[in-house]
Chains A and B, each alone.
Chain A
Amino acid sequence: MPDADLELDCRGMLCPLPVIELGRHLTDVAVGGTIAVLATDVAARVDVPAWCRMREQEYVGEDAAEDGTPRYLVRRLS
């Protein structure tokens, strides 16, 4: 997956903190820009896409950071 415009390091955070971070920083990127959420908490795999659906943003997909941490990519649509 492409590099993100902004990367949020949420390693070690428990749910719902990674999604709170995502919500807080959405407007730090321009519309059309991307945010990557690095999260070790397993709930983020479900909650980041669900947040995108509820907030009408685009969930791009999941890959892994260099240390293997799951990385969830979101594109700001509005």
Chain B
Amino acid sequence: MTNASGTPSPAPGPPVPVYLDSASSEALHPAAREVLLAALDQGYADPRRLHGPARSARLLLDNAREAVAGCLAVRPDEVTFTPSGTDAVHRGLLGLHAGRSRSGSAIVHTAVEHSAVLHAAHWAGGEHVSVGVDRLGRVDPDELARAASDPASGGATVAAVQSANHEVGTLQPVAAVAGALGDVPVFMDACASAGRLPLPDGWAAAAASAHKWGGPAGVGVLLVRKGARWRNPFPVDDRVDERAAGFENVPAALAAAAALQAVVAERDEVAPRQSALIDRIRAGVAAVPDVEVVGDPDGRLPHLVTFSCLYVDGEALVTELDRRGFGVASGSACTASTLEPSHVLAAMGVLTHGNVRVSLTRDTTEAGVERFLAELPDVVRGIRAELGI
């Protein structure tokens, strides 16, 4: 075989693996790698000390904070680095809850929040009220506001509304929810969308996670709006930032900021390209018999789509796709550590078995997507055939 220039093409080897699980974690952005390596040598000291190496570490941490603030259109003093996105969720939600403990005791949340929000609401110990979503996974602002003002709940302290759903990609009407709620502050879990889309307005505190935008793991971002009534729900610590606890991971925070800057700078090019590939997947997958694509086709994250295959075991699907080189996630019960089906899919009233979530990386190619679409029907057919369907 020869290519257009007449030179022999290399023999075809095994197919290149296609990683389609960026919503779980995206590989380190090249911009973050360089910064991380440099900062490991320059940012090791305690940023609270007064000597030269400490001043270097403090400078890097302040730079990271300013860069993140710039990317997310907030003030630097509204940014806190935490040890994870989950920790930022806990501090954001429970800090607003604690700040309004005289106004009530109930936490209101959408039924499709991340489990980190649900566990934190449960841990808080008071009432927690779950508000349902429509078939596309979107909450109704008025319904959420009614639940927050329902006297039966004893008064809401805070309402948790994600910016976008992590399993199906549907965007939530955060600003409209905040408008409908009035005095009750909104905690926004922005882990699924931060960096990929501008943050919506209306929230009092928010959380994000660096490894979902190509920063290192172990860096969360807590945002607390100036003037928000936020009180530390956990033991305080005498660190640089009063909202966090523990020794700052300065190199990782700086690398997270560098990745975020790169992702935001590339966003106008990457998001439309990813969104077009998702449209292609939505159309291609819908052509497979008895497969339902779920989530909002339009008001969605640019890089993520979820579908469910009738009569197919989710674990078999993920395993066979992996064998063929495709890394995907699933919300089916048999693939979950809890053995419960996804509470997101259940709240939407869509099939929980045979579920696959595809989420693109910044360098996912059209060829990779087309190969996935070419192989999927055969994978589904094979699993159904084993079950005699």
Contact = CB atoms under 8 A, between A and B. Distances in A.
Given A46-B341, A51-B351, A19 B334 contact: no
A41 B346 CA distance: 14
A64 interface: no
A43 B333 contact: yes
Interface string B312-338: 110000000000000000001110000
A23 interface: yes
Given A42-B340, A43-B333, A43-B341, A16 B313 contact: yes
Contact of A16 (B312, B346, B349): B312
A contact face: mostly helix, strand, loop, or mixed: helix
A49 B389 contact: no
Contact of B310 (A14, A19, A49): A19
B260 to A, nearest CB: 36
B71 interface: no
B62 interface: no
Contact of A43 (B310, B349, B353): B353
Given A15-B334, A20-B311, A50 B389 contact: no
A23 B351 contact: no
Nearest to B316: A16
B170 interface: no
Looking at chain B, what size class is its interface with the partner chain?
20 to 34
A54 B311 contact: no
Interface residues of A, number: 17
A45 B313 CA distance: 16
A47 interface: yes
Given A51-B310, A54-B290, A19 B353 contact: yes
B116 interface: no
A48 to B, nearest CB: 10
B340 A50 contact: no
Contacts of A16: 310-313, 353-354
Nearest to A14: B334
Contact of A42 (B290, B308, B333): B333
Interface of B: 290, 292, 308, 310-313, 332-334, 340-341, 345-346, 349-354, 387, 389
27 contacts: A14-B333, A14-B334, A15-B353, A16-B311, A16-B353, A19-B310, A23-B310, A23-B311, A41-B333, A42-B341, A43-B332, A43-B333, A43-B352, A43-B353, A46-B349, A46-B351, A47-B341, A47-B351, A47-B352, A47-B353, A49-B349, A50-B350, A50-B351, A51-B351, A53-B349, A54-B310, A54-B351
